[in-house]
Amino acid sequence: MKKMTKTCSIPLILGLIIISVAARSQNYTEIGTGTTQNTMPVYSYWNYSWSSLIYNHNELGAAKTITAIGLDCINGPKTVTNQKIYAKLSSAEIFASAAYEDPLNNGYVLVYEGDLTFQTGWNEIQLTTPIVYDGIQNIVFHWENRWGSTYGPIFNSTLSSINNNKNCGSDAGFPGAGSSGYLNPYPGSLTNTRFYYQSSGPATPNNPDPADNSKRISVDTDLHWELGSNTTTCDLYFGTDPANLAMIGNNLPAIQGTNSFHIDGLLVDSTMHYWKVIAKNGNQQESSPVWSFKTEVVIDEFPYFQGFEDSTVFNSWPVESAWVTIPEYSWYEMDTLSFSGNLCAKSFFLNSNIQAILQSPKVLLPHNCLIRFNWANMDPMRVAGYDTTYFEVSTNGGQTWSTLDYLSPQSPTDYIERTHSLDAYAGNNFFFRFRYRTTNNSNSHSVFLDDIRIEEGTVGLPEIGAGNDFRVYPNPSHGKFTLSLPAGFTYPVCLDIYDLLGKQIQKKQITGSGEVIDASVPGSGVYILIIHAGNKEFRQKLIIR
């Protein structure tokens, strides 16, 4: 593994005097790493509400002055008005009852009052009165919500088995003195919270990429994070066991801002990975939280077969599907009209996006492979021209797609097997998809798909008519190619180039074998070359990269 970054140093000069001061860095302690959704502490299921939460001293660490707190919102932007936050230190680790805390009479201090807007992600709330934490007791927050509306922010939280949180709500008015709510209410979790403070040591590493708790991360990802002030070097830890991370970068040079680390090779697919960064400056150091991400599922064992008998292709619970449908549920499993077995895939012919996409997981595709699949548009009420299904491939992670085939029969068809060479697309970032286009008309009818195979082999290119073959090289080509025609042709002959939709792209007369052709095609993809020689016709596929 290699680290690619740089360091920089800027002296601070004011006028003619060099001033040496102890710079203060922004740090935070983060409690909670879960992804359980919870509306606390705002608790906006109700127009008016309160909630109380206890954060344990074992996780808060040493004494510090807390100047801000942070909450991890998942549905921003959300604005809530008339919020009050109270805080106090306490030796209690759980609440003895579900009763209202009555903060004005029980030792709480008002640390924030006003309106709040939460964006998606971590949000800092600057406290008007800092919390002087002693490093011994627990911190108790009591939050009062007088917004007068519902459906506010939702936050990430971590499951809890103890009564370290409680809440109460009402639509009629604020449930104050004398009210009682619920201890550790559904979903039984404590809201993830950051406690911000300043120190003379390195700032807490922040903003991980891949983001914390993210999914479907590429197996060839690199790691990125931000470092703040007072940091000269850092250590990087990584692994699949959060309790036993291995150091993969020692005393890496650090810059204030984004730092990067390149991981050689590919990560294990469909696996949780954990990592943290320790910022250092001499004998002072500051650790980030342990971040996590889950890698994508990849197809890397061949021959590969998908007959849609595995329901996890379309059902995302409890196992998240590695296949993607866009829009969601626009393709689904069908228990009739399969090509083989009991199930097949079927597109839904009416959808607001006018198209339905079924996309594969990433394929780590070796050379000399081909793909076979069976598709059909067999409804007896089918009318030509109202729907088309495209088979498309991508070698750049889905940024752009090339069409290799399409199904748009003039009349209903039974299953048709199609075979395509994938040799030109070999690599570690290959995807394929089936894209169904519809006019959202009653004359449109769903397409059926079954028995997808990727296996080693080559594909013979089709030829129409009897007679000798011709060769095209190089193939794939970047636009220019040479035609090699066998003896016996009477020149000139006519060359037509068509795309897979049947549109003529170019027409040219060929005066002899070995002629170099500059194909004026609109982009990369598969094209059909047709040679007209007398009353015979010959075809070849040409791949343009």
pLDDT in tens, 218-239: 999 999 999 999 999 999 999 9
Domain ranges of the chain: 25-197, 204-295, 304-456, 471-544
Shared fold status for 204-295 and 471-544: yes
pLDDT for 460 equals: 47
Cα-only R_g, the chain: 32
pTM: 0.73
Contact between 372 and 450 (Cβ < 8 Å): no
Instruction: Say how many C-beta atoms besides its own lie within 10 A of residue 407's C-beta.
Output: 19
Strands, DSSP E only, in 263-306?
A: 272-281, 284-287, 291-295, 298-299, 304-306
Contact between 432 and 375 (Cβ < 8 Å): no
Question: Low-confidence residues of the chain, pLDDT below 70?
Answer: 1-23, 311, 315-320, 349-353, 380-383, 440-444, 458-469, 500-502, 534-537
Q: What's the rounded Cα separation, in Å, for the pair 156 and 73?
A: 7
pLDDT for 8 equals: 33
Q: How does DSSP assign 144-208, residue by residue?
A: EE-----S---EEEEE-SSS-EEEEEESSS---TT-B-EES-TTTEEE-EEEEEEESSPPPPEEE
pLDDT for 469 equals: 60
pLDDT for 498 equals: 79
Instruction: Say how many C-beta atoms besides its own lie within 10 A of residue 507's C-beta.
Output: 12
The CATH class, in words, for 304-456 is mainly beta
Cα torsion angle, 420, 425, 426, 430, sign: negative
Contact between 168 and 175 (Cβ < 8 Å): yes
CA angle 69, 72, 76 (to 5 degrees): 115
Nearest residue to 336 via CA among 223, 462, 227, 450: 450
pLDDT for 525 equals: 78
pLDDT in tens, 112-121: 999 999 999 9
pLDDT for 23 equals: 61
pLDDT for 440 equals: 66
Instruction: Report whether CATH 2.60.40.1220 matches the domain 471-544.
Output: yes
Please name the fold of domain 25-197: Jelly Rolls (2.60.120)
Contact between 274 and 240 (Cβ < 8 Å): yes
Tokens for 292? Answer: 């996590």
Q: What's the rounded Cα separation, in Å, for the pair 118 and 164?
A: 24
pLDDT for 193 equals: 98
Nearest residue to 146 via CA among 38, 54, 43: 43
Matching CATH number, 204-295, of 2.60.40.10, 3.40.50.12160, 3.40.30.10, 3.90.1150.10? 2.60.40.10
